[in-house]
Amino acid sequence: MLVIVSRTGGFAGLTTTWRVDVDAEPDTESWLALLDALPWADAPHDRPPQPDRFVWLVRVEARPRREVRLPDQQVTGPWRTLVDRVTSVGDAERRAPGTPGA
Amino acid sequence: MKPTVVPPYLLARIVEAGDRFDHAARAARVGLDEWRSFAGVRGRPLEAPRTARPTRASGPDRRVSDAGGGDALPGRRVRSEGDPATGDVAVDEAWDGLGATYAFFADAFGRDSIDGAGLPLEATVHYRRDYDNAFWDGERMVFGDGDGEVFGRFTASLSVIGHELAHGVTQYTTALEYQGQSGALNEHVSDVLGALVEQHAAGQTADEATWLIGAGLFTDAVQGVALRSLAAPGTAYDDDVLGRDPQPAHLDDYVVTDEDAGGVHLNSGIPNKAFHLVATALGGRAWERAGRIWWDAITAGTVTPTTDFAGFAAATLEAATARYGVDSDEARAVTDGWAGVGLPLVGA
């Protein structure tokens, strides 16, 4: 099961994407527990954007497919835990918005 | 001739009153230029003696804080107005950049800080670790130190500091919504003002300027001169890790995407190129005419949070016509500039 975290926006406007196949990780169970505990339906999204601040897109390729878009200032608590874990484990891939891939 | 009768700080105040006393302001500007050439102080802000009563532009009130590698804001205050240099490069660069940005807005447009009412200028440095970014959070600029592989510290570029503070100016003027075309315009205004802050500090004309945003941010490992170019959007970098600068320079190449709030940092290339065309067609110091027109447009009330490219272009032509006349070189340069990026304007 693929977890994909994309960091978009920022001063440079580039998108960096990290991917983790949690089934291939040694601690799959802990990954699944973290993903299940996240409030996917109640993800915070109401604050106004801050210019040049990152916006994160978190996707899980599974059934059901899950996806949230979070401004950086609202990547806190369990969302921060997930983002930090994915970005430390996965390889980073940078590209410009609008280009195919990811 | 040594100008001694009217002291320079009074001339500076008359220049600042240009909105009300246009003719006097022009005369005062000539006097100021003569004084600067004589005293060799080109580009430095001129301050009133300490005994003088502060009036419209009383000087910056700078506050720099250190987040210490964490994400709590504002962090610990480490330098306030009047304090000497700290020796922390990021702190001192932010402080100098805030000062240069204040001086630019006061000198070019008679504006006292970003809200026109002496708002304290706040910056936080050393935000998080390996943080490849700088942003405006609604109250302050926040700077990372970069990761050391692709990006260095974000305070190293005056255009970045000017760009961030200009987001504050936009907050207090047009409040352009940060998505889609209005968001690209929000970004564009910050790039223009950021570039002009740098040009003003260096005393450069439009021909002498680099028109680059973020030159000096990349490490030596990156193939690129800057993050963006107003003169040639799409050419600032071409690197195997970062890819190629994705900015379009023409409306035909507008990027449609969900990322980056609809590509606000990309599609800003289109109005950026229009500004470059106007500034280089007119020549001289870009903030004096092209920059003045853009400033008039964003302070006239004609640009709203949802204005699109066509609406913004129209607002700049309206501003140019109001200040310089219908058949002026300036109005013609504005029309040609926008036509050059695929946004022809009808009528004048």
Strands in chain B per DSSP E: 62-66, 76-80, 121-125, 134-136, 141-143, 212-213, 228-229, 238-239, 243-244
Please state, rounded to an integer, the average pLDDT across all residues of chain B. Answer: 88
**Which bin fits B72, alpha (ψ -120 to 50), beta or left (φ > 0)?**
beta
Cβ partners under 8 Å of residue B10, min gap 6: none
For residue B296 the two structure tokens come to 């008039």
Which residue's entry shows tokens 């001192």? B92
Asked if B164 and A12 come within 8 Å (Cβ–Cβ), the reply is no
Q: Report which of residues B222 and B9 the model is more confident about.
A: B222
pTM score: 0.85
- Percent with pLDDT over 90 in chain B: 80
Question: Is the CA virtual torsion A53, A75, B74, B132 positive or negative?
Answer: negative
pLDDT band at residue B252, thresholds of 50, 70 and 90? very high
Distances (CA, A) of B215 to B151, B206, B295: 11, 17, 24
Catalytic annotation on B265? yes
Q: Which residue of A has its CA nearest to B242?
A: A94
Region B341-346 average pLDDT? 92
Total residues belonging to chain B: 348
Please state, rounded to an integer, the average pLDDT across all residues of chain A. Answer: 90
Asked if B246 and A96 come within 8 Å (Cβ–Cβ), the reply is yes
Q: Report which of residues B25 and B241 the model is more confident about.
A: B241
Q: Which candidate, B55, B278, B263, B62, places its Cα nearest to that of B178?
A: B263
pLDDT band at residue B20, thresholds of 50, 70 and 90? low
Cβ partners under 8 Å of residue B332, min gap 6: none
For residue B31 the two structure tokens come to 């006097």
What are the tens digits of pLDDT across the range A38-74? 999 888 776 788 999 999 999 999 888 899 999 999 9
Separation of alpha carbons A46 and A36, rounded Å: 23
What is the fold of B62-156? Elastase; domain 1 (3.10.170)
pLDDT at B34 over 70: no
Which residue's entry shows tokens 């100021």? B32
Q: Of the ranges B12-21, B156-165, B222-231, B245-254, which one carries the lowest mean pLDDT score? A: B12-21
Give A-chain residues touching B259 at CB under 8 angstroms.
6, 8-9, 15, 57, 97-98
Region B60-69 average pLDDT? 98
Asked if A51 and B136 come within 8 Å (Cβ–Cβ), the reply is yes
Structurally, what CATH architecture does the domain formed by B184-339 represent?
A: Orthogonal Bundle (1.10)
pLDDT band at residue B49, thresholds of 50, 70 and 90? very low
Which residue's entry shows tokens 């040049």? A52
Catalytic residue among B265, B276, B318, B330: B265
Separation of alpha carbons B118 and A41, rounded Å: 44
Q: What one-letter code names the amino acid at B112?
A: D
pLDDT at B60 over 90: yes
- Please answer whether residues B203 and B184 qualify as being in contact, where contact means their C-beta atoms are separated by less than 8 angstroms: no
pLDDT at B204 over 70: yes
Q: Identify the bridge partners of residue B134 per DSSP, sorted by sequence position.
A: B143
What are the tens digits of pLDDT across the range B286-306? 999 999 999 999 999 999 999
Asked if A94 and B138 come within 8 Å (Cβ–Cβ), the reply is no
pLDDT band at residue B14, thresholds of 50, 70 and 90? low
A71 membership: H or E segment, kind and range: strand A66-71
DSSP string, B265-293: HHHTHHHHHHHHHHHHHH-S-TTTTHHHH
What local confidence, expressed as pLDDT, does residue B3 receive?
45
What local confidence, expressed as pLDDT, does residue B347 receive?
57
**Within an 8 Å CB–CB cutoff, is residue A92 touching chain B?**
no
Cβ partners under 8 Å of residue B194, min gap 6: B158, B159, B160, B161, B162, B163, B164, B166, B213
What local confidence, expressed as pLDDT, does residue B65 receive?
98
Tell me the domain boundaries of chain A: 2-37+51-95
Give B-chain residues touching A73 at CB under 8 angstroms.
137
CATH 3.10.170.10 residue spans of chain B? 62-156
- Percent with pLDDT over 70 in chain B: 83
Highest mean pLDDT (candidates A39-48, B19-28, B206-215): B206-215
ipTM, 2 dp: 0.90
pLDDT at B207 over 60: yes
Q: Of the ranges A75-79, B165-169, B331-335, which one carries the lowest mean pLDDT score? A: A75-79
Region B196-216 average pLDDT? 97
Q: Which candidate, B304, B310, B308, B303, places its Cα nearest to that of B339?
A: B310
Asked if B263 and A13 come within 8 Å (Cβ–Cβ), the reply is yes
Separation of alpha carbons A20 and A34, rounded Å: 14
What local confidence, expressed as pLDDT, does residue B55 receive?
46
Separation of alpha carbons B230 and A87, rounded Å: 33
CATH 1.10.390.10 residue spans of chain B? 184-339
Region B67-91 average pLDDT? 97
Task: Give the mutation candidate from B71, B129, B131, B135 for the A interface (greatest A CB count, under 10 A).
Answer: B135
